[in-house]
Amino acid sequence: MRVKKRAFQVLSAAMAAVMVAGCAGQTATEATKTAAAAGTGNYDEPMTFDFYDVAANYQGTQAGWFAKVVKDKFNIELNMISPQVAGNGIYQTRCSTGNLGDIVVLERTDFTDCVKAGLIKDISADIKNYPDLMTYNDQITVLNKALPENKDGKIYGIPCQMTNTSPTSYSQDVIKSSPLLRWDLYSELGRPEIKNTDDLLDILEKMMKAHPTNNAGDPAYPLSLWKDWDGGDGMLGIANVTQLTTWYGEIIKGSNILKPDNTFIPVNSKDGAYYKMLHFLNEANRRGIVDPDSGTQDWNTACDKMKTGRVYLMWYNWQVGFWNTQDRLKDGTAFIYTPIKDQIYYADADTYYGSGRVFAVGSQVDDAKYQRIMDFLNWYASPEGLNYQHIGLKGFNYTVGSDGKYTYINDNALMDNVTVPDEFGGGGFNDGNNAINQWMVDAISTNPATGEPYNKDYWSTYKAATMTQMKKDWAAKFGAAEPVDYMKKNNILLISPNVSVSLPSDPADISIIRKQCSDLFSDYSWRMIYAKDDGEFDSLWSEMCTQMDGMGFQELSKFDKDKYQIELDAKLAVNKK
């Protein structure tokens, strides 16, 4: 008994000690933090930036070559805080402490709310001293002027992915979503003309019949779908269908579809392209050309199938990056845009005013840190910073010729996580890649040093290196050098001008309706893809509409119509000019 009691006493004492020590530890770190922050404006004092970033896929301290770049340049470490990793709840908890982060990257509606809630620092007085940021003065001013209750034009944020082109131009060679087919398989079938999606299904079916497996013998299906991004991008519906609506000139804006004639219809209307493209996938499934695991697999599994040649249709322009290599472009087995005659494509113009996300400084930073954050942001917008963001390391990712033009080297650095030499910080290239994952200026912008865009795909040296037989054949058949040239020539590209407007965020009621309707819409969509016949497809569709109405879809649709009308009006005004 005595022993027991003694043990209990010791235990409690230890417990109390641990608790006290825990608190003490915290105060100690806090103290060092304050001391470190009281710097003098030079870079002698090392600093850590808490970087709240909605674009980041990585949480924790930046490592590898990019860590070395910012350490050498500014003597800082980047502590990434990513809601994509930690979950959206972190936004709520950090906001309630009044300190979201030292630097933040936010979606524009959240940014507007955060300015209102006093979480964002007013940088009007200082931004004028930063020449690289002031290059984009026009875009920055427009963004901040559009903030509600900001009549005197204070500056709070800097748009992401601005360009130095124009808000109505389209400078890229490809658009975000278009039908991409394997050139070798298409050629095998004699490169027939594709009139509509039924023809496309016929072709895919033939491809599957001719090649039921990839070279390794694993079963291949022309279409492999995944569910991870359903309801994302501010669009109701499954991500694999929402992109396909742009093939018919329609774009989903929240819970509505914007038709080419500039009218909104509800996303669950049978007149919309969502219905059409969902039906397309259903027909594909009935023909047996959809991967049966589509409903249960995640993006990683689907992506592995793309990498191993087990799919024959792609629809995102970046998706080809998992298959097209320079070798495959050479032997003609790469994916490329294949026109379908009845289609007309929707594309957003160059993001002159920014992509919708915003860089800003947290309101709680002290003066020394603020100084260095602004230095960092200015560098991030400078040609030097942009080269790191868009290409990587000079001498490892690119070389500079005697004429000043860049040449791309180690083109598998990202894909194969190639080891970086120690002089650049060592480690794998992908592991040490810029975890901010968000550019201040878009890669299509012109680099003043070369007169060419930052994006390597548009360098003259790269174009020359990738001018393969396949590219030549494609150009000969369709009479254009690049997909976008073809679309412009045939007048089948609808370019929606880039505008900078502030849209209202969802009130609490609407956000719940949105979530519940979005879940219903996605769940039913998946079941419709697997419907046995048109009867089942349509009965599921009408059942879904009833359910959505019960959740308050009408209210949501009305809210979104009013919301996106603001943006549409601004776009129409630009087009009139």
Partner 1 sequence: MRMFNDRKKARAFREFMYVLPFLILVAVFSYYPLYGWVYAFFDYKPPFPLSMKQFVGFKWFTSLLTNDVKLKQLLAVLRNTFAISGLSLLFSWFPMIFAVFLNEIKWKPFKVFVQTATTLPNFISWVLVYSIAYCVFSSTGVINSLLLNLGILKTPQLFLQSANHIWFKMWLWLTWKNAGWAAIMYIAAISGIDEQLKEAARVDGANRMQVIWHITIPGLIPTFFVLVMLNLANFLTNGLEQYYVFQNAFNKDYIQVLDLYVYNIAMGSGGYSLSTAISMFKSIVSVLLLCATNQISKMVRGEGFV
Q: Which residues bind partner 1 (CB under 8 A)?
A: 8-9, 12, 15-16, 19, 87-89, 91-92, 95-96, 100, 110, 113-114, 116-117, 119, 218-219, 227, 231, 291-293, 295-297, 301, 505-509, 511-512, 514-516, 519, 522-527, 530, 546-547, 549-551
Closest-CA residue to 526 (of 312, 223, 230) = 230
| Pick 112 or 397: Cβ nearer partner 1 | 112
Q: Rounded distance, CA 69 to CA 384, Å? A: 11
| Pick 287 or 527: Cβ nearer partner 1 | 527
Coil, strand or helix at 175 = coil
Residue 559 beta carbon to partner 1: minimum distance, rounded to whole angstroms: 14
| Pick 361 or 391: Cβ nearer partner 1 | 361
| Pick 389 or 518: Cβ nearer partner 1 | 518
Residue 279 beta carbon to partner 1: minimum distance, rounded to whole angstroms: 17
Residue 527 beta carbon to partner 1: minimum distance, rounded to whole angstroms: 6
Residue 277 beta carbon to partner 1: minimum distance, rounded to whole angstroms: 17
Tell me the angle at which helices 197-210 and 273-286 cross, rounded to the nearest 10 degrees: 30
| Pick 72 or 218: Cβ nearer partner 1 | 218
User: With 0-12 CB in 10 A as exposed, 13-18 as middle and 19+ as buried, what is 193?
Assistant: exposed
Q: Rounded distance, CA 299 to CA 39, Å? A: 45
Residue type, 443: A
| Pick 227 or 253: Cβ nearer partner 1 | 227
Q: Rounded distance, CA 199 to CA 197, Å? A: 5
| Pick 316 or 530: Cβ nearer partner 1 | 530
Residue 523 beta carbon to partner 1: minimum distance, rounded to whole angstroms: 4
Q: Rounded distance, CA 172 to CA 385, Å? A: 22
Residue 178 beta carbon to partner 1: minimum distance, rounded to whole angstroms: 27
| Pick 13 or 210: Cβ nearer partner 1 | 13
Place of tokens 């497809």: 537
What are the distances in angstroms from CA 452 to CA 78, 443, 446, 448, 456?
30, 10, 5, 8, 9
Closest-CA residue to 183 (of 563, 474, 435, 420) = 474
Place of tokens 């792609």: 314
Q: Rounded distance, CA 394 to CA 397, Å? A: 6
Q: Rounded distance, CA 443 to CA 459, Å? A: 11
| Pick 386 or 548: Cβ nearer partner 1 | 548
Residue 315 beta carbon to partner 1: minimum distance, rounded to whole angstroms: 20
**335 has which bridge partners?**
182
| Pick 100 or 223: Cβ nearer partner 1 | 100
Residue 113 beta carbon to partner 1: minimum distance, rounded to whole angstroms: 6
Residue 91 beta carbon to partner 1: minimum distance, rounded to whole angstroms: 6
Residue 286 beta carbon to partner 1: minimum distance, rounded to whole angstroms: 13
Letter string b/e over residues 362-390, b meaning 16 or more CB atoms within 10 A of that residue's CB = bbebeebbbbbbbbbbbbbbbbebbbbbb
Q: Rounded distance, CA 213 to CA 217, Å? A: 5
| Pick 77 or 113: Cβ nearer partner 1 | 113
What DSSP character marks residue 248?
Answer: B
DSSP 468-498: -HHHHHHHHHHTSSSHHHHHHHTT-EEEEPP
Q: Rounded distance, CA 462 to CA 456, Å? A: 7
Residue 499 beta carbon to partner 1: minimum distance, rounded to whole angstroms: 25
Tell me how far the alpha carbon of residue 434 is from its chain's centroid: 15
